[in-house]
Structure 1
Amino acid sequence: MTDEIAVVGAGRMGEGIALTCLAAGLPVVLADVKDRTDEERSAYCRRVRDRLAEQLRAKLGDDAALAGLTVCGRETARLADAVVVFEAVPEVIEIKREALAWVCAQVGESAVIASTTSTFLVTEIAKLVDRPGRVVNAHWLNPADLIPLVEVSRSDDTDPDAVATLTGLLERIGKVPVVCGPAAGYIVPRLQALVMNEAARMVEEGVASAADIDLAVRAGLGPRFSVLGPLEFIDWGGCDILYYASRYLTSELGERFQHPDVIERNMSTSRRGLQDGTGFYDFDPEGVPEYRAARMREFEAIFGLREPHLRNGTPVPTKQED
């Protein structure tokens, strides 16, 4: 079997996945499964191929990798050699059911089927295929070719080899896979929904303007969390800070700021982070000074890149008059 990758669904996500795999030197079959006439299909496939050629030239300096691309409809698609098939059709369960039934009839027994859905749990997608253990959700973030992260969602019934095959492929093409269970919102959408709703709520309450809230995130929260993830940040600053801040914010703003039980447990068992040597992470006391220094160097590098842009300001889009 070759290292061929199949992408079923030739929309924006499908194109981004195909571009990433082509740029990494892997052959790709990109199957457009939308209902079209032969003439429409031919024209659409040409446009897709032209767009990918242009993007490959911008990314690699030439479009030589395009030789590994096959863009086709389901009538001519051949998926038998695909190691991994990414399903990237619209978020409608009947459309997914039909597309995955077709995929199952095409692929080999060892092929991993990875749905890019952001809506349906892996346990739901697994019901739509003939061998549920080989199904994994692979949630790419747009733009798919630029964002490193791919969230890989598995269930207790997922074959570990399927997860290993998918994460190995993602690492090979330059992505950063993280594995999570079958929970609504994965990791990033669940976190960002809370942040975005709270930002909108602050505008609604008149706390600050949309522009100032966005600037606060771009100049502070965003870059800071790009160095220290939120759980590492709890350990860095101290679980006690979050514990007391949460109690105050809950009293002032409501139950949505109530801390989870794990924060209470960490406080009661002296797992406050760096100050105790353990928290969500364990810290070697001898290594803490270098750890702190390394993180501070990362902060300097991140803010060194961001500061000129923030000082110069960013044009704010405005509505155009009719």
Structure 2
Amino acid sequence: MTQRTVAVVGSGYMGGGIAQVLALGGARVALADVSQEVAEKNLDRLLGEAEQFVADGLFPADAVDLLRANLWAAPSIEAAVADAGYIEEAVPEVLDIKHATLRRISDAASAEAVIGSNTSTILIATLAEAVDHPERFLGVHFSNPAPFIPGVEVIPHAGTSEDTVQTAREIVALTGKQAAVVKDVTGFVLNRLQYALFHEAAQVVEEGIASAEDVDTLVRTTFGFRLPFFGPFAIADMAGLDVYSFCYASLQTSFPERFATPDILKDLVDAGKLGTKSGAGFLQIPADQTQDLVAYRNKAYVAMAGLLKELGPSPAEEAGRAAEPTAPHAG
């Protein structure tokens, strides 16, 4: 396989991290920004960060050598994208800036080059208005911090070609990350879910039900503890969809509109598809594999508990503990 030639336009925190993982994956990566001076300054920063990441055991031992070999600062956006087969735009989340940058990329790049945007909020179809041959354009949304978060949203708009989606999948695979292809709607999937949780958490604090510190503790140590291993549908299947249906009915006694039972859940329960205990639910996990799933789950949770113990409390958790009121002394 020939070495991929890639350009990352926007060399700041997100763009720089994306450039790092692409270069570590073996691509030859041109880093571009508003000027060569800015790109070179950020390249030096990325090499310094990589040295620290190696020292901390976060990057492989040869990471700095790989980055020096595969990552370079281009004199301009046009020079960076001229020979690139894939281009990742990672400039600030401002429509006018993105449109202006994408026009420059589109004008200077090969007509066959695939262009991805790292936007987290702007509709891909809106960004595509600035791109010639918009069938080669889509969203490729890395998460912060890009070197260490393993999931990437791939977001085609209505006119994106299948070949473009496949190229994006290959780019994500090159970085060792996992791609999830989602539709072009406001918030996509990642932020729609993330902000739904935050919205409910904020209401809990505003209503005086729990402190921000206690909400964070509950999320970390209960359902959030499961999420590195299982998504919400696998968790629901293991709990039992009839149990979920009952819990929705209970929540509706106080929050009838906010917690209306989803039709997709009703339909499964009505059909007797109750999750792993019935062999069918949101995910099709055969009943005879339930014991293997439970064994994996238990092993995963114990391993996570051990890792957290080894790492110790995060600075955020320690700050939360320091903010807790002390109990009054007896006597």
TM-score by length of 2: 0.87
- Per the TM alignment, residue 270 of structure 1 is displaced from its structure 2 partner at its CA by 1.2
RMSD across aligned positions (CA): 2.3
Partner of 1:95: 97
Segments of structure 1 that go 5 or more residues without pairing to the other structure are none
The percent identity for this pair of structures is 33
1 CA distance for matches of 2:267 and 2:200?
26
2 CA distance for matches of 1:239 and 1:264?
9
Aligned AA (1:243): S
Partner of 1:315: 318
- Per the TM alignment, residue 73 of structure 1 is displaced from its structure 2 partner at its CA by 4.2
- Per the TM alignment, residue 76 of structure 1 is displaced from its structure 2 partner at its CA by 6.2
- Per the TM alignment, residue 235 of structure 1 is displaced from its structure 2 partner at its CA by 0.7
Tell me: CA distance 1:312–1:130, structure 2 relative to 1, closer, same or farther (3 Å).
Answer: closer
Partner of 2:271: 269
User: Deviation digits for residues 76-113 of structure 1, max 9, x if unmatched?
Assistant: 62423212100111222221111111111121122111
Partner of 1:150: 152
Tell me: CA distance 1:187–1:291, structure 2 relative to 1, closer, same or farther (3 Å).
Answer: same
1 CA distance for matches of 2:97 and 2:316?
44
Partner of 2:326: none
Aligned AA (1:32): D
- Per the TM alignment, residue 275 of structure 1 is displaced from its structure 2 partner at its CA by 2.1
Out of 163, 166, 169, the position equivalent to 1:164 is 166
2 CA distance for matches of 1:220 and 1:303?
12
2 CA distance for matches of 1:76 and 1:133?
21
2 CA distance for matches of 1:280 and 1:45?
46
Partner of 2:69: 67
Indicate conservation of the 8 Å contact 2:78/2:108, yes or no: no
Out of 254, 257, 278, the position equivalent to 1:255 is 257
Instruction: Figure out how many residues of one structure are paired with residues of the other and give that number.
Output: 312
User: Deviation digits for residues 214-237 of structure 1, max 9, x if unmatched?
Assistant: 111112221212222101111111
User: Deviation digits for residues 275-311 of structure 1, max 9, x if unmatched?
Assistant: 2211111122322221221222112211222246359
Partner of 1:7: 8
Indicate conservation of the 8 Å contact 1:8/1:14, yes or no: yes
> Which deviates more from structure 2 when the two are superposed, residues 209-218 or residues 56-65?
56-65
2 CA distance for matches of 1:286 and 1:224?
22
Out of 176, 201, 217, the position equivalent to 1:215 is 217
Matched, 1:50 2:51: no
Indicate conservation of the 8 Å contact 2:78/2:105, yes or no: no
User: Deviation digits for residues 135-183 of structure 1, max 9, x if unmatched?
Assistant: 1101111111111111111134211111111111211211111111112
Matched, 1:283 2:265: no
Partner of 2:119: 117
Aligned AA (1:88): A
1 CA distance for matches of 2:70 and 2:308?
37
Aligned AA (1:279): G
SS in 2 for 1:85: strand
Indicate conservation of the 8 Å contact 2:6/2:29, yes or no: yes
Indicate conservation of the 8 Å contact 1:277/1:285, yes or no: yes
SS in 2 for 1:178: strand
- Runs ≥4 in structure 1, deviation > 4 angstroms? 310-313
Segments of structure 2 that go 5 or more residues without pairing to the other structure are 54-58, 324-331
Matched, 1:236 2:238: yes
Indicate conservation of the 8 Å contact 1:2/1:82, yes or no: no
> Which deviates more from structure 2 when the two are superposed, residues 67-76 or residues 131-140?
67-76
User: Deviation digits for residues 246-278 of structure 1, max 9, x if unmatched?
Assistant: 122122134121122111111111111112211
Aligned AA (2:89): E
TM-score by length of 1: 0.90
Partner of 2:328: none
Tell me: CA distance 1:122–1:158, structure 2 relative to 1, closer, same or farther (3 Å).
Answer: same
> Which deviates more from structure 2 when the two are superposed, residues 52-61 or residues 193-202?
52-61
Aligned AA (1:189): N
